[in-house]
Amino acid sequence: MNTNFNDVISKVLIDEDSIQKKIKQIATNINQFYEDEPQDVLLVGILRGSIMFMSDLAKYLKIDCKLDFMDVSSYGDSTESSGNVKIVKDLDTDVKDLNVLIIEDIIDSGNTLYFLVDTLKQRGAKSIKIVTLLDKPERREKDVQPDWTGFKIPDEFVVGYGLDYAQHYRNLPYIGVLKREVYEK
Ligand code: IMP
Ligand code: MG
């Protein structure tokens, strides 16, 4: 089944080029930050939204790093966070005494990252940093401060470049605003 994305996307918020330029800038800053760090860094990608961001970002990192993944859920198929975060797939790596860099697609209420940071702290991580491609600061419920942010965006539901609505539209190469009629029907 082919989809005409014009039927579901009201506008392109961030195009492919802008995403790539921004990721290079972020990578430069992250490289500088870890420059003098003797120990390697564990990149923790939060499934599934961060996959494209993580793979593009990792290519520009010059630090010694390993990759692992975690899947947490708080949404189901709705567009609002439930605030009740659960681990769906845990890390394979023991993070005790490791430098962890959490890679997120978007921070919305902050519930997911608040839970993740707390969990990794309890497991004894040496340091925990957060990089997010997108941030919707207006919707914050928990005080979570990303260390590196790609774009601050308004309170609109976006899809593409890894982000989904009910598992769809992750494969779009840009970030687009989802038409309200798609999720309000
Ligand atoms: P939070 O716990 O409310 O901060 O939500 C974080 C998670 O919600 C992200 O990892 C996304 O998976 C999802 N999310 C939040 N806003 C959007 C959006 O606009 N589009 C797609 N997914 C979103
Ligand atoms: Mg997510």
Q: Which of 104, 108, 142 to mutate to test the pocket of ligand 1 (most atoms within 8 A of CB)?
A: 108
Residue 47 main-chain phi, psi, to 5 deg:
-75, 150
d(CA 73, ligand 2 centre) in Å: 8
Torsion of CA 60, 130, 152, 9, to 10 degrees: 70
Confidence band for 40, pLDDT divided at 50, 70 and 90: very high
From first CA to last CA, the distance across the chain in angstroms is: 21
pLDDT at residue 154, as a whole number: 96
pLDDT at residue 185, as a whole number: 73
- The closest-lying atom of ligand 1 relative to the alpha carbon of residue 49 is 12
d(CA 40, ligand 2 centre) in Å: 25
Check if the beta carbon of residue 167 is closer than 8 Å to that of residue 150: no
**Mean per-residue pLDDT, 11-16:** 98
Answer yes or no: is pLDDT of 142 > 60: yes
Burial of 98 (0-12, 13-18, 19+ CB in 10 A): buried
pLDDT at residue 107, as a whole number: 97
Active-site residue list? 108
Q: Atom 5, ligand 1: which residue's CA is nearest?
A: 108
d(CA 106, ligand 1 centre) in Å: 5
Pocket lined around ligand 1, Cβ cut-off 6 Å: 46, 49, 74-75, 81, 104-112, 157-159, 163
Check if the beta carbon of residue 40 is closer than 8 Å to that of residue 66: yes
| Number of residues that this document lists for the chain | 185
Q: Which two tokens mark 139?
A: 């919707």
Each residue of 72-126: pLDDT tens digit? 988 655 666 667 899 999 999 999 999 999 999 999 999 999 999 999 999 999 9
